[in-house]
């Protein structure tokens, strides 16, 4: 777990059985220009993220002088990230009735796809209406709305985080821009927009929140020749750690070439393979959940996508050696030498 200033979330665990789905995604990755598929499962209550594993048919392997490379596409962000509606903290509706805490606030929509990697709770608050009014109408009265990420520290406490609403800015998707930075979008809530609907009555002092989440990272699992045995994790990449401290994100540290928290394709170099041996690999996404009330992880340890088994909190062996499952890839490793490969000046890669 990171220090308090760098808290991050991850997804939980409940019990089987749950329905699963195979998601079809069109991708233009470095792997190939073809349909990429993932094995996904619905969120496990009370957690909200859908976790996906790439199918074995979509994993690309390549023998290089240092070992075996396994590459795959990241799952689609619009499916695996989470964006909640705006929820009342202290809010009154047009009739002056106080909304129940957690109820969806009418007339203000949160839209888009969260493109960040840190789980957050974003708060908005009505700080000024007109010169000094208590009640106003969006699109009629000038309204100032402050916003902040509750659990994330600010680099500059003097930064202005607010929306100044008038007739021109209501009914339009607004970016969470930090005033004075010139950024078209911020690294605080990238990809997310907020729409204040005209005609909506608002009261000074009202506040509400919404939550954004993303999965933490990837585990690479390896079996030897018998996939029915218990596998080992041979590689871990944490997108959250990569965001705050890139050197701590990959494990092993030299096994994830060019990986960043925002990569579309990831590659693990497995150096501990031997010529002629058979190996089996599977990639899972993992998380630890997010408690939006405190900013803490929802569970003590990581929870993985299928075929992870929440009953034993482990990665099980395959049902059979002949049919290891849709996410497990069989690889017969053959060692190559530098002399047997060419250097591609165009891509800067070895090729056989």
For residue range 200-245, what is the model confidence (pLDDT) as tens digits?
999 999 999 999 999 999 999 999 999 999 999 999 999 999 999 9
As a whole number of angstroms, the distance between CA 211 and CA 85 comes to: 8
Domain chopping of the chain, boundaries: 4-80+214-351, 82-213
The candidate with the shortest Cα–Cα distance to 175, out of 126, 111, 108, 87, is: 111
> What is the three-class DSSP state of 350?
strand
- Find where tokens 């606030």 sit: 105
> CA gyration radius for the chain?
24
As a whole number of angstroms, the distance between CA 46 and CA 86 comes to: 18
| Peptide bond between residue 252 and the one before it cis (omega within 30 degrees of 0) | yes
User: For residue 172, is pLDDT > 90?
Assistant: yes
Q: Which residues pair with 223 in a beta bridge?
A: 280
Mean pLDDT, residues 103-116: 95
Give the residue ranges of DSSP H helices in 119-196. none
Output the pLDDT for position 21.
41
Tokens of 226: 């018998």
Give the residue ranges of DSSP H helices in 129-266. 239-244
Burial 233-249 (b: 16+ CB within 10 A, else e): ebbbbbbbbbbbeeeeb
| Peptide bond between residue 134 and the one before it cis (omega within 30 degrees of 0) | no
- Find where tokens 């989440």 sit: 213
Q: What is the DSSP letter of 160?
A: B
Look over the chain and give the mean of its residue pLDDT values, rounded to a whole number.
84
Mean pLDDT, residues 173-183: 77
For residue range 261-308, what is the model confidence (pLDDT) as tens digits?
999 999 999 999 999 999 999 999 999 888 888 888 777 678 899 998
Grade residue 3 by pLDDT with cuts at 50, 70 and 90: very low
């Amino acid at each position: 777990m990171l220090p308090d200033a760098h808290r991050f979330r991850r997804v939980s665990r409940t019990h089987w059985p749950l329905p699963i789905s195979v998601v079809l995604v069109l991708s233009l990755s470095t792997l190939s220009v073809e349909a990429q598929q993932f094995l996904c499962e619905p969120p496990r209550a009370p957690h909200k993220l859908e976790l996906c594993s790439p199918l074995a048919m979509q994993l690309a392997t390549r023998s290089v002088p240092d070992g075996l490379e396994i590459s795959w596409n990241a799952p689609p962000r619009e499916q695996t990230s989470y964006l909640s509606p705006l929820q009342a903290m202290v809010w009154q509706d047009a009739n002056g009735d106080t909304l129940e805490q957690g109820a969806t606030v009418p007339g203000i929509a949160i839209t888009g796809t969260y493109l960040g990697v840190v789980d957050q709770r974003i708060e908005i608050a009505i700080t000024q209406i007109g010169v000094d009014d208590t009640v106003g109408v969006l699109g009629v009265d000038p309204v100032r709305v402050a916003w902040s990420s509750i659990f994330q520290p600010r680099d500059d406490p003097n930064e202005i985080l607010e929306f100044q609403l008038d007739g021109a800015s209501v009914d339009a998707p607004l970016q969470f821009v930090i005033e004075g930075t010139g950024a078209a979008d911020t690294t605080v809530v990238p990809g997310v927009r907020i729409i204040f609907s005209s005609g909506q009555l608002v009261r000074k002092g009202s506040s509400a929140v919404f939550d954004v989440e993303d999965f933490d990272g990837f585990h690479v699992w390896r079996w030897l020749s018998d996939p029915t045995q218990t596998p080992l994790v041979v590689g871990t990449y944490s997108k959250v750690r990569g965001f705050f401290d890139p050197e701590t994100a990959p494990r092993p540290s030299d096994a994830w070439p060019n990986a960043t928290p925002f990569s579309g394709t990831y590659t693990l170099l497995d150096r501990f393979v031997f010529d002629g041996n058979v190996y089996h690999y599977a990639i899972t996404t993992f998380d630890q959940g997010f408690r939006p009330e405190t900013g803490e992880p929802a569970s003590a340890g990581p929870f993985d996508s299928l075929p992870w088994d929440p009953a034993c909190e482990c990665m099980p062996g395959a049902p059979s050696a002949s049919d290891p499952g849709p996410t497990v890839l069989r690889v017969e490793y053959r060692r190559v030498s530098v002399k047997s490969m060419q250097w591609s000046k165009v891509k800067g890669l070895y090729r056989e």
